[in-house]
Amino acid sequence: MSFYCLYDLILNYVIKNIMKNYLKAFLIFLIFIFSSTAIAENQDFNKWVKEFKKKAISQGISKTTVDKAFSRIVFIEKLLIYDKRQPEFIEKTETYLGKRVTRSRIYTAKKLLVQKKDLLLKVEKDFGVPKEFLLALWGIETNFGVHRGKVDILSALATMSYDKRRSAYFSKELITLLKLIDAKKVDINSMYGSWAGAHGNFQFMPSSIANYAVDYDKDGKIDLVNSLEDSFASAANYLKTIGWNQNITWGSEATASKKINKKFITTDARDLQKGMTYKKWVELGVVAKNSLVASDNFKLVRPDGLDGPIYLISTNYEKLLHWNRSLRFAVSIGVFSDNLIYD
């Protein structure tokens, strides 16, 4: 072996070992950094827990309930990622609808219309909310109870309350849940649901449970997981209470033959633009795919911005925004219900 070959072998060996050591050192450094960050985060969360417990007790919640609830609460960091990547706000409408208003779900809903006919008709009569909308909500929210969520709701709400992004909202929800537990209106051991703290077949937040949940089967307790009677009636009561109008539809997808003035276009659920009668919309070149009453008032929404699909929406659509403040979510409920009503 020549001197130069031997030199290359020794040099390569030295470089490889140096790189291995550097890599090991770098990995150790990363582990140290992440561990230190996690420890600091946990310490800050524990401080927050201590202060929040004081706040809860000061609002009349018993120390026993507070101690029991917080004994099971843990910080779940991944929930913060879920909050920032909600599909309702990052997916295009076509993609969002394609994943949720599926043939299989529509097929299931049609079967349920027959299987649960008596219950659905009774709830519809008592609350004035069409059965098709209730099934659409159930299908979109939890795939008819299949995906109700397995996250500990107390931990979810505590995590989101600790985070600064929407702390005020989630703190109120956590206080409400603690009050419900304290009053024995919900069972602490059954409080599992979504990353955001929503519970049951229709994904009720604690404030919705407090304000709209109904013991429809009269068994002395509200069960939004195992009782379809309570679940359907509670969802219907929610919509009825906030002003659902049983005499009008949600709206319809539409087409435009002329350019629409931007001042009439809603692209943000927090900033709904002025509406007008359907007759006036037709005069401006906007025509609905489904039949709409000429004298009824409608607003125009485009969830994807100025180039996306167009929908003319009624006040009932706005009630769906109260349920979930997303233009795409409300559209999905309307489109799903249309598949049950018009097919």
- Give the pLDDT confidence of 245-293 residue by residue, as tens digits: 999 999 999 999 999 999 999 999 999 999 999 999 999 999 999 999 9
CATH number of 24-90+149-199: 1.10.8.350
Angle between helices 131-142 and 228-241 (to 10 degrees): 110
Residue 148: closest CA among 200, 105, 208, 206: 200
| pLDDT for res 34 | 44
- C-alpha 277/C-alpha 280 separation (Å) is 5
Segments in 195-326 forming alpha helices (H) = 206-212, 228-241, 278-283, 315-323
Proportion of the chain above pLDDT 90, given as a percent: 86
Mean pLDDT of 114-129: 98
Q: Does the pLDDT at position 323 exceed 80? A: yes
pTM for the whole structure: 0.86
Residue 178: closest CA among 278, 64, 86, 263: 64
User: Where do we find the tokens 């304000």?
Assistant: 211
Q: Is 301 helix (H, G, I), strand (E, B) or coil?
A: strand
The per-residue pLDDT for range 127-167, each reduced to its tens digit, is 999 999 999 999 999 999 999 999 999 999 999 999 999 99
Residue 313: closest CA among 98, 329, 142: 329
| pLDDT for res 35 | 42
- C-alpha 204/C-alpha 6 separation (Å) is 73
Q: What are φ and ψ of residue 144, in 5° steps?
A: 60, 40
Q: Where are the beta strands (DSSP E) in 264-331?
A: 265-266, 276-277, 286-288, 297-301, 310-313
pLDDT band at 18 (very low <50, low <70, confident <90, very high): low
Structure tokens given for 97: 């609808």
Mean pLDDT of 65-83: 96
Q: Is 230 helix (H, G, I), strand (E, B) or coil?
A: helix
| pLDDT for res 28 | 55
The per-residue pLDDT for range 174-187, each reduced to its tens digit, is 999 999 999 999 99
Amino acid at 19: M
| pLDDT for res 2 | 57
The mean of the pLDDT values for the chain is 92
| pLDDT for res 307 | 86
pLDDT band at 6 (very low <50, low <70, confident <90, very high): low
What pairs with residue 299 in β-bridges?
A: 313
Q: Are 317 and 326 in contact (CB under 8 A)?
A: no
Structure tokens given for 73: 């609460």
pLDDT band at 12 (very low <50, low <70, confident <90, very high): low
The per-residue pLDDT for range 193-249, each reduced to its tens digit, is 999 999 999 999 999 999 999 999 999 999 999 999 999 999 999 999 999 999 999
User: Where do we find the tokens 């609350």?
Assistant: 127
Going from N- to C-terminal start, the domains of the chain cover: 24-90+149-199, 251-313
| pLDDT for res 37 | 46
Region of 61 on the Ramachandran plot (φ > 0 left; ψ -120 to 50 alpha; else beta): beta
Bridge pairing between strands 297-301 and 276-277: antiparallel
In sequence order, the 6+-apart residues with CB closer than 8 A to the CB of 201 are 138, 141, 142, 144, 145, 148, 224, 225, 228, 231, 235
